Amino acid sequence: MKTLILDASAIKKLAGMKESIKAIEDVFRLLGEGKTNMPPKVYLPLPEFDGDFRAMPAWVKGLKGCGIKWVNVHPQNKKGTLPTVMAIIILSDPSIGFPLCIMEAAYLTALRTGAAGGVAAKFLARPDSKKVALVGCGVQAGTQLQAIREIFDIRKVKIWGINDKEMREFIRKFKGLKKIDIKPSPTVKACVKDSDIIITTTPSRKPIVRLEWIGEGVHINAIGADAEGKQELDSKILKKAKIVVDDIKQASHSGEINVPLSRGELSKRKIYANIGEVVCGKKKGRSRRGEITVFDSTGLAIQDIAIANLVYTKGLKLKKARYVSFVSPK
């Protein structure tokens, strides 16, 4: 038996947003039904290098493989030639332990996180949402926009980034999208004003979106807070909103709710549901047109395994697939 190797170029040919959204919605439903096994994400802080590693194992009943993702976050890499986030997934056969596939996973991480945002908005945003605000316009903002477009008839997108260059590059990359007007905003306040869906993808450690800037009925995908101490939303927003997390333990430690919880500004009793409960129908999503909803996304290992299974299944059909013998027979 041999192990399939999939690099970034192969991955991008095998995984698209539409099918990724389906895979993520399916795995969220299984999460809600209690058919997943996902130990807590393990953090390996490296403060002397201004970075960290994260180990994310999971198994989803019914999928071909279980596995683990090993992913780094090194923000200072922006100054050089390496990306901030790099990752690999090892997918194994749960019945015998054989390593089925080793695949590059930075692209898959962005894809599955975007897909998760799309699924959350499907259940929590108003169905007639047309105006999107992107607070932060890096790689993750792009996949979030791609996912939202698969579900909603988006017509207007306002973006805000840390500098004009970042915003110009984002607009250049997505200017070919049909029927969508993408405009830069001078401030976060201007960006989020009058938006139906707000997506935050910054590494901020202090609130940058205020309650008084947003309207009734808005949905927010809070994506950027993925480590202890990070926060993008004014705590007043969370106090007023219906909050749906991907995983309560992860979110409490490293999601958008982590800082307000640690300061006593928010109680865990305020958390309405996890996304699995909403997708499988145990709890209702949006119940009133005027309510504010927030999806606190920290990124789950089951998402990685769902996408990895999708890619592995398609990768087996490649005519020029690469295999390596890692395991020697007895």
**DSSP collapsed to 3 states, 164-182:** HHHHHHHHHHHCCCCCCEE
Q: Can you tell me whether residue 150 is helix, strand or coil? A: helix
| Residues 231 and 209 sit within 8 Å (Cβ to Cβ) | no
- pTM equals 0.93
Per-residue pLDDT reduced to its tens digit, 182-222: 999 999 999 999 999 999 999 999 999 999 999 999 999 99
Q: How far apart (Å, rounded) are the C-alpha atoms in residues 263 and 241?
A: 18
Alpha carbon separation from 183 to 73, 133, 139, 156, 206 (Å, rounded) = 29, 10, 17, 8, 25
β-pairing, 66-73 with 51-60? antiparallel
Distance of CA 31 to the CA centre of its chain: 16
The pLDDT tens digits of the residues spanning 6-21 come to 999 999 999 899 999 9
Residue 91: what pLDDT? 97
Q: Give the residues of the chain that fall short of pLDDT 50.
A: none
pLDDT confidence of residue 319: 84
Residue numbers annotated as active site: 69
Would you say the C-alpha torsion 215, 209, 133, 253 has a positive or negative sign? Answer: negative
pLDDT (0 to 100) of residue 14:
93
pLDDT value of residue 227:
83
According to CATH, the topology of domain 3-108+302-324 is ornithine cyclodeaminase, domain 1 (3.30.1780)
CATH architecture group of domain 114-300? 3-Layer(aba) Sandwich (3.40)
- pLDDT score for 315: 95
Which pLDDT score, from 0 to 100, does residue 282 have?
A: 97
Domain ranges of the chain: 3-108+302-324, 114-300
